[in-house]
Amino acid sequence: MNTLRSIAPLGVVVALILTGCAGGPDDPDAATAGTAPIVEESSPQGTGSGHGEIEGAEEVAEPQLHLVSIDRTGAVGMLNLLDGTTTEPGSIDPPTAVTSDGRYLFADTDAGVEIVDSGVWTWDHVDHFHYYRTSPSILGSVPGDGPAIVTTSGNATTGGTGVFFPESGDAVLLSNEALSEGRVEEVFRFETEPHEGLSAPLGGGALVTTVDESGTVSGVEFYGADGSPVDGATAPCADAQGAVTTRIGVVVGCADGAILATYEEGEPQFEHIAFPEGTQAPRAADFRGRKGRPAVAALAGDQGFWLLDTRAREWQFVPTDQPLVQVSAASDDDSHVVAVDRQGRIRVFDGEAGTEIAATDPLLAEAVATPETSAGIELTVDRERAYVNDPVAGVVHEIDYRGDARVARSLETPTSPDFVAETGR
């Protein structure tokens, strides 16, 4: 029923004949390329109905891009990147880490995971987009012991968000529809053996890591919305670490490459994408990329970075002359990859050619100087700009990565950007 396939580097795509859904513009990447949008035959979550509108929300003509900052005390602030206005919607318990899907911020706290709704989001309708805004709010908490691993999905109002607590082994799937209506609702929660695992949303359920008799993480298994494992829906993945949702499917990093999981005709399908033969670079684990695009990047230890194109099912290793702190793929026509190196420079690479295009001065030299401050750096890439916070200077730099890594603006947020995310994407 559910098979694990070793695959050749071929993407499976189909041209879409546009039909009468009015609203947002066509895929901006396709428009830039001067071609019709291309849509994959499957996606990790369905687009659903209603184009993402929620009662009380306003549909607008352009993405409502904001920076959401949270300081170490838990004070939340928002900076509107379109008009410069600021708001402070409230506060949460002091966070230790923050994950975002482009609308919500999921903050690790002593009590579990606390959720902030920025109130701005983009609905990806595959061939075009719809943009919405409503009031920001603090939604509540997901209780749990110890730090959590959060894996988000493609749309903020459908599908789910996976939360895994390694200390207890609790695997949780949250309802994004409930979150969009102001409720924190668990689709399922069950206990596994405590391990460094993950819960990654797929279809109406989630992939959850499995362990062998020795307690070693050995693979992933698909659980339906009722929290029950689906017979045969498993895939081997030695030392599974890191998961991300792309345009094509859900990527889970493995010791020998990655698993790409898609959801087709109501069933999960698994494909193994092996690292290139003969490559000795450290494995990929922390995947980052522009939301809704097929390519993601990950650090390759101190040696450079990996670029994974989930459309082509291909890895590329790019060595760098300096170790990197973070890296993210723009997945645009020019294959831009943006990184922060250990000298504090923001560097831009041509991912396809494996060459550097541009670099800034060491803007983040103080921030990268210690492991504590370096861990607070967050890099986000959207279609036109990259945003990277300086937790020492207390600003966020807006980088024109398509224009010689120019620093377009250095932005002050209403609360210290100890943790920051770009929302409205």
Ordered structural domains, the chain, with CATH: 4-423 (2.130.10.10)
Token pair listed for 359: 């670099």
* pLDDT tier, 50 (very low <50, low <70, confident <90, very high otherwise): low
* Separation CA 409–CA 363 (nearest Å): 12
pLDDT per residue as tens digits for the range 59-71: 999 999 999 999 9
The predicted structure's pLDDT at residue 126: 72
Q: Name the residue among 32, 100, 87, 84 with its Cα closest to residue 380.
A: 100
Residue-wise pLDDT tens digits, 380-411: 999 999 999 999 999 999 999 999 999 999 99
Instruction: List, in sequence order, every beta strand (DSSP E) within 226-274.
Output: 229-236, 241-245, 250-254, 257-264, 267-274
Q: Where does the pLDDT of residue 131 fall: very low under 50, low under 70, confident under 90, or very high at 90 and above?
A: very high
* E strands present in 63-158: 66-70, 75-80, 86-91, 97-100, 104-109, 112-117, 120-124, 129-133, 137-143, 149-151
Give yes or no for a contact between 381 and 329, defined as CB atoms under 8 angstroms apart: yes
Alpha helices in 2-155 (DSSP H): 28-33
Q: What tens digit of pLDDT does each residue of 183-233 get? A: 999 999 999 999 999 999 999 999 999 999 999 999 999 999 999 999 999
At 45 the pLDDT is 52
Query: Any alpha helices (H) in 1-80, and if so which ranges?
Result: 28-33
- φ, ψ of residue 51 to 5 degrees: the values are 60, 25
Distance CA 38, CA 15 (A): 5
Helix (H) or strand (E) holding 180, with range, is helix 176-180
Helix (H) or strand (E) holding 179: helix 176-180
- Global confidence as pTM: 0.89
Phi and psi torsions of 164, nearest 5°: -130, 130
* pLDDT attached to residue 400: 98
Range with the lowest mean pLDDT among 71-75, 128-132, 236-240, 241-245? 128-132
